[in-house]
Structure 1
Amino acid sequence: MTDFTEFHDELRSLARGLLAKSAGEPVSWKTVTEAGWPGLAAPPEFDGAGAGFAEVAVLLGEAGRAAAVTALPTVLALSVPALAAATADDLRDNIFRETVTGRTLPVLVLDAGEADNAFALDDSPAGPVVTGSADFVLDAPAADLLLVPIPAREELVAVVPDAAGLTITPTPLVDATRSAARVSADRVAAHAVWHFPDQDALRARAAVAVACDSLGSAEAMLAATVAYVRVREQFGRPVGSFQAVKHACADMLVQVTVAGHLVGAAVRAIDEGSADSAIAASRAKSYATSAAVRVAGAALQLHGGFGYTWDSGIHVHLKRATLNRALYGSPAAHRKKLAARYH
């Protein structure tokens, strides 16, 4: 991975400032587009910046830090790479340009639970039709276009949300910063069909994207907690001066630091196309998402009674971190994959 430290710092600073302004409200797609983020990893021929996954990871982390309400992570981590990998034609190129300019918000239909997608593409007198379902698809309710992978045929199918036979059923979530839905297709006409090889990499990329989000959230909770215990006083002294509080904050720091190393290694593996990227993804996903839940829980306790109030905002990160832990494979499922290497 090329070292673009200065660029990453500038990107991080811009994203942190812009996302902080949303204050828990949905980030408008116009704002995201004007910042140029949907096209960050798109090729220059589509007016994109041509950046790699390392740059995308910066935005993913900042989205987690701000607990941002936006479909940007899904578009950056999955939709744009899927379009880039699909066989080029005029329609794909046009969709790619519209994605970069913000006129189209495509969502890859990838089940975020433990199950794999169960879609099939069949021929009919009227053209190709899609049948199948995915139970938990992030940001499906916000999509202008759905991209459905068909692993058995190594194809990617574009489907418009209002197509006959397509049902998008929103899923109620405790995490109010996210949206998800069940996507069901009953012989839905394909808007386009492209050759789409190497689909196995999608889940690893999705897992690392969630790990980046969790790392950003954990960093935010650590920073907020340290700032709070420095000013909150008990018995005439800051609570941060008590040994037990110091130990708790130090434990949070250790977990965030370890998560940062594992997530960084996974990002590099994907950015460089390493053969071990799936292994690195499982390491990062299993540890970082679990650590984020523990760090948010510790933050809740160390904020005392204030931590349990709505104004503290800790509940937002705790709910988001808890959902992250379950997305694209639980920590137990990823540890099982890692353990299988040694059998």
Structure 2
Amino acid sequence: MSEFSELHDELRSVAADLLAKGTVDWPLLVSAGWIGLDAPEEAGGAGATFAEVAVICEELGRAAATTSYLGGAVLAIGALNSLQPNVSRDALLQAVVAGNTRTVLALPGTGGPAPFDLATTRLGWWVHGRASFAPDAAGAQRLLLPARDADGVAVLVDVAVDAPGLTVTEQPVLDETRRLATVTAEGVEVDEDAVWKFDGDTEEQLRKLTDRAALAVACDSLGVAQAMLDTTVSYTGVRQQFGRPIGSFQAVKHACADMLVTISVARQLVRAAIAAPEPTAISMAKAYATEAAVEVAGKAMQLHGGIGYTWESGVHVYLKRAALNRSLFGSPAEHRAKISARYR
């Protein structure tokens, strides 16, 4: 990725400036061109790769920004890109990139990746199932439901959020910067042309979607951890104790150095997973980076002293986000179990 380092630095700088302005709504994400970063050019996208998407994910974590980027862009575009081209799919992809239709992949944050069942009867096609902790499903106009047909083959089903039998219920979580929801389908009737097949091996494509989600969260956690280190170094450089900055004390120096080392390891693992997105590398990045963010945010709160525990400091926002990231799309223990299973 070295040949793209200048592009990534520029993208990171623009993202940081944009996110520093405060509230980042959906139209602003569309106008910035972030929604269709890795969508094909013929669909109106930039034709970039996940490496560029990862830069945005990291900056969103660094700013602890409240957006619908994870579900409405990272997962939605990834899902549409993984499907066999057809008229309906192509039209929706173009509408998503243009910002005309808010579409979200109802990928559960915990549990199996295809929690819905597609039943075919002489009366039509019906979808049943439930996805919990689906990012950004609330507020979307259309949902892509990962389902299995009667033969157990994974497909994506395109449904409108106001379809009879479909309910989207927001799930309150400790982290107020993310919006998660439960999507329940109780006999939702769909047309045959709304059932879309994956392009290539269906199980591999479904796995790639869950891996993409896990890696995006790892990138977000990397941004969270970096923000906490930067904030802590800045604070300890100005906070006076016994007539000098507390950052000059050896114990504080060692704590900040430990945070830096932890983040450096996490960054290397995330970069390796982006460069070669195979399951083991992604599980290593997700397990380490999300756990590291919780550790770094916890140390940041301690090094801020009493003010770190106040609502005004803002450290709690990052700690809550890091804690949720650690659980979404596989806990560190679950990902380590995946890694160990590959070597048995």
TM-score (norm 1): 0.94
Q: 2:216 — aligned with what? A: 209
Q: What count of residue pairs does the alignment treat as equivalent? A: 334
d(CA) in 1 for partners of 2:156 and 2:34?
Answer: 23
Conservation of the 8 A alpha-carbon contact between 1:109 and 1:149: yes
Q: Which residue of structure 2 aligns with residue 49 of structure 1?
A: 46
1:264 paired to 2:271: yes
Q: Is the 8 A contact 2:114 2:154 kept in 1?
A: no
Check conservation: 2:115, 2:146, Cα contact below 8 A: no
Corresponding residue for residue 160 of structure 1: 160
Residue type matched to 2:162 in 1?
Answer: D
Question: Does residue 299 of the first structure (1) align with residue 274 of the second (2)?
Answer: no
Cα shift readout 1:218-245 (whole Å, capped 9, x = no counterpart): 0000000001101111010000000000
TM-fit CA distance, 1:125: 4.5
Residue 233 of structure 1: which of 240, 246, 260 is its match?
240
**In the TM superposition, what is the alpha-carbon distance from 1:88 to its structure 2 partner?**
1.6
The worse-fitting range, judged by mean Cα deviation, of 309-318 and 111-120 is 111-120
State the Cα RMSD in Å.
1.3
Q: 1:40-68 deviations in whole A, cap 9, x for unaligned?
A: 11100011100001001000100100111
Matched to 1:210, the amino acid is V
The 8 Å contact of residues 70 and 136 in structure 2, kept in 1 or not, is answered as no
Q: Letter of the 2:324 partner, please give it.
A: L
Specify the code of the residue in structure 1 equivalent to 2:305: G
Is 1:245 equivalent to 2:237 in the alignment?
no
- CA change 1:105–1:2 in 2 (3 A) is farther
1:2 CA displacement = 7.0
Query: Contact 2:221–2:293 at 8 Å: present in 1 too?
Result: yes
Percentage of matched positions with identical amino acids? 54
AA partner of residue 13 (structure 1): S
Whether the aligned pair in 2 keeps the contact of 1:86 and 1:194 (CA below 8 Å) is yes
Give, as a single letter, the amino acid of the residue that structure 2 aligns with 1:144: Q
Can you list the C-alpha shifts for 1:249-274, whole angstroms capped at 9, x where unaligned? 0000011000000011111113xxxx
Match of 1:102 in 2: 99
Q: Secondary structure at the match of 1:142?
A: coil
CA–CA distance in structure 1, aligned partners of residues 267 and 77 of structure 2: 25
Q: Deviations over 1:190-223 (max 9, x none)?
A: 2611111321111111111110000000000000
Aligned to 1:132, what secondary structure does the other structure show? strand
Corresponding position of 2:177 = 177
- In structure 2, C-alpha distance between the alignment counterparts of 1:115 and 1:81, rounded to whole Å: 18
> Contact (CA 8 Å) 2:64, 2:317: kept in 1 or not?
yes
8 Å Cα contact 1:215/1:288 also seen in 2: yes
Any conservation in 1 of the 2:157–2:196 contact (CA below 8 Å)? yes
Distance between the aligned counterparts of 2:73 and 2:4, measured in 1?
19
State the alpha-carbon separation in 1 of the partners of residues 16 and 102 from structure 2. 22
Match of 1:274 in 2: none
Contact between 1:63 and 1:73, CA under 8 Å: does it hold in 2? no
Equivalent residue number for residue 142 of structure 2: 145
Which runs of no fewer than 5 residues in structure 2 stay unpaired? none
Q: Deviation of residue 126 (structure 1)?
A: 5.1
Aligned partners of 1:251, 1:335: CA distance in 2, in Å? 23
The 5 A counterparts of 1:19-168 are 19-22=19-22, 25=23, 27-125=24-122, 127-151=124-148, 152-168=152-168
Structure 1, residues 118-150: CA drift from partner, whole Å, max 9, x if none? 211112455322111112211110211100122
| Match of residue 9 from structure 2 | 9
Query: Which shows bigger deviation, 85-94 or 290-299?
Result: 85-94
Post-superposition offset of 1:341: 2.5
Q: Secondary structure at the match of 1:134?
A: strand
Q: Is the 8 A contact 1:41 1:76 kept in 2?
A: no
On the 8 A contact 1:56/1:76 being kept in 2, the answer is no
> What CA distance in whole angstroms lies between the structure 2 residues aligned with 1:190 and 1:61?
37
Tell me which amino acid in the other structure corresponds to 1:214. S
Q: TM-score scaled by structure 2?
A: 0.94
